[in-house]
Structure 1
């Protein structure tokens, strides 16, 4: 099945993967460390709806730890589940630090098979993912229309850095924003709550901005 994107400002069709549809009403979540009010209201909704679909999980049965840094292993799980990838029948990507018995093995292998993450000697499961890596994974994972020009006024856009286009892509979609008016902080670490918000917004963009025009 191919899904094609309809933009008001562009006519080129691009293929995007099938992704989860966020329900209007989410089941009550068990996490008590996020408030459904004030500055955490959107985060609460995002985590609640993603949790109800099995896309994200807590650090305990009652805590999500939204301000705790996200590991690369957790990021692989969240993204693979959001994309509804096959995580059982997978090809071993060959990461020395990800044995087939590891709880994230199937999710990491699925992302590698789709070319969303690069195959290398090690995956570094317990390392924290940064904002530029997050931008690349979301752009490639959801097959977003990649930016061809850099319009953001960020002084930390380093020259000839390939991640710049992925960052600009998320900015174009309204999925994220800078850490200040002039910085994106590409090497700052992503928290669990931030990743939930990024995934939630991306899924909403797909639901609102994409429609089926052909089936093969």
Structure 2
């Protein structure tokens, strides 16, 4: 009996040794965590497995399928962009094969993070005025996301010597007597100053008893060329960035940096588009998630009133979400048609030669195709549209610049 047991054990050990490792190793899948997202954000799915093939599935809060794909190899990675109308709630990621799965949960929320105020500045640091002259100050607030807002009517003002020059609560300086004074503007704890020098009026000369003549108005200076230290590696966008910055249409993230590779938000894109097209209208409503006083409140109100910005549903816009390339194209096409800059309409045939034409969402096909037909969009490396990728600040500058030059907007804004 003992001899028989020894033989059986020897046979089991031999069979185990000859079996492939995979046949005895447990099939596993391990997923990385996914942080909470907002509509329009990109989802990155990463993990490892010893299975040859796994199915990726993302379920909505109501358990319907939002996304599905099949992946091979390990480690694996997959990316997709949440639609702009994605509802809030808890989403479930399931990756596996048969009963062998791993799951992760993440939340989608429409909560926004407002940028913080970093500094304020005056449009000039020195003024020279003649007695009796007035000057309207302009105060600009800079925010942590690189955006700027005119806060002239929101700042508080004071003068160091009211006998030389006074300043109203609207920022209007009035020169009183010869001398010098300092004007200080304050907003939310930030200050900016400028020097004001007051001189005598120019007399008419020649012994005339006439009162002093009004000084001739000096011509407006030509905008100086603006450049940034970090755009050298973006030669394809350099001219667009510098031209738009010199015209005051686009701003840097600091005085000397532009951050061309940074993704642009939905609010910033609308702000640039409204500014470039010089759009104006009375605002009587806005999206519920656009707070009064934010730098983008007025441009978004204008875009909404004109039907250019239509939001993500429930009267929401999600201003701080990054904007996808296809959503940017849809909004641009809508704006150009609203302003009668174009009358053409593109179809899928206009984009069919691009390698990723099939990835353009059905709602975006007309807008994307229209801009390609107009020559405003020319595709990216590898004959790709990259419709669901996020738009960068450099890409946005190039598109705005093409619109600006193609439709002679510089001339239009001067005449407006």
Fold shared per TM-score above 0.5: yes
Does the alignment pair 1:40 with 2:237? no
Structure 2: 5+ residue stretches without partners: 1-221
CA distance in 2, matches of 1:30, 1:185: 28
CA distance in 2, matches of 1:182, 1:42: 16
Cα 1:32/1:97, change in 2 over 3 Å: same
CA distance in 2, matches of 1:160, 1:190: 16
User: Is the contact made by 2:359 and 2:387 (CA closer than 8 Å) also made in structure 1?
Assistant: no
Partner of 1:91: 284
Cα 1:146/1:178, change in 2 over 3 Å: same
1:111 to 288, 295, 303: 303
Does the alignment pair 1:27 with 2:227? no
Does the alignment pair 1:135 with 2:329? yes
CA distance in 2, matches of 1:159, 1:86: 31
Q: TM-score when scaled to structure 1?
A: 0.74
Partner of 2:380: 179
CA distance in 2, matches of 1:165, 1:180: 22
After TM superposition, give the deviation of residue 174 of structure 1 in Å.
Answer: 1.8
Cα 1:149/1:186, change in 2 over 3 Å: closer
Cα deviation digits, residues 89-142 of structure 1 (max 9, x gap)? 42222x222112111000101111111110543211110001111111111112
User: Is the contact made by 1:150 and 1:164 (CA closer than 8 Å) also made in structure 2?
Assistant: no
2:389 to 188, 194, 216: 188
After TM superposition, give the deviation of residue 180 of structure 1 in Å.
Answer: 4.7
Q: Structure 1 or 2: larger strand share?
A: 2
CA distance in 2, matches of 1:50, 1:160: 30
Moved more, 64-73 or 114-123: 114-123
Cα 1:159/1:44, change in 2 over 3 Å: closer
Cα 1:168/1:181, change in 2 over 3 Å: farther
After TM superposition, give the deviation of residue 30 of structure 1 in Å.
Answer: 4.2
2:246 to 19, 36, 52: 52
Q: What are the equivalent positions in structure 2 for 1:63-74 lying under 5 Å apart?
A: 63-74=257-268
CA distance in 1, matches of 2:381, 2:249: 29
Q: TM-score when scaled to structure 2?
A: 0.40
User: Is the contact made by 2:237 and 2:397 (CA closer than 8 Å) also made in structure 1?
Assistant: yes
User: Is the contact made by 2:360 and 2:388 (CA closer than 8 Å) also made in structure 1?
Assistant: no
Partner of 2:349: 150
Higher normalized contact order (CA 8 Å, seq sep 6+, divided by chain length): 1
What is the count of residue pairs matched by the alignment? 180
User: Is the contact made by 1:170 and 1:176 (CA closer than 8 Å) also made in structure 2?
Assistant: yes
User: Is the contact made by 1:27 and 1:52 (CA closer than 8 Å) also made in structure 2?
Assistant: yes
CA distance in 1, matches of 2:254, 2:226: 12
CA distance in 1, matches of 2:260, 2:401: 14
| Structure 2 SS opposite 1:142 | helix
Cα 1:148/1:106, change in 2 over 3 Å: same
CA distance in 1, matches of 2:268, 2:234: 21
| Structure 2 SS opposite 1:28 | coil
Report the structure number with the largest CA radius of gyration: 2
Cα deviation digits, residues 39-98 of structure 1 (max 9, x gap)? 6334121111111222111111111111000001110110010010127x42222x2221
After TM superposition, give the deviation of residue 165 of structure 1 in Å.
Answer: 1.5
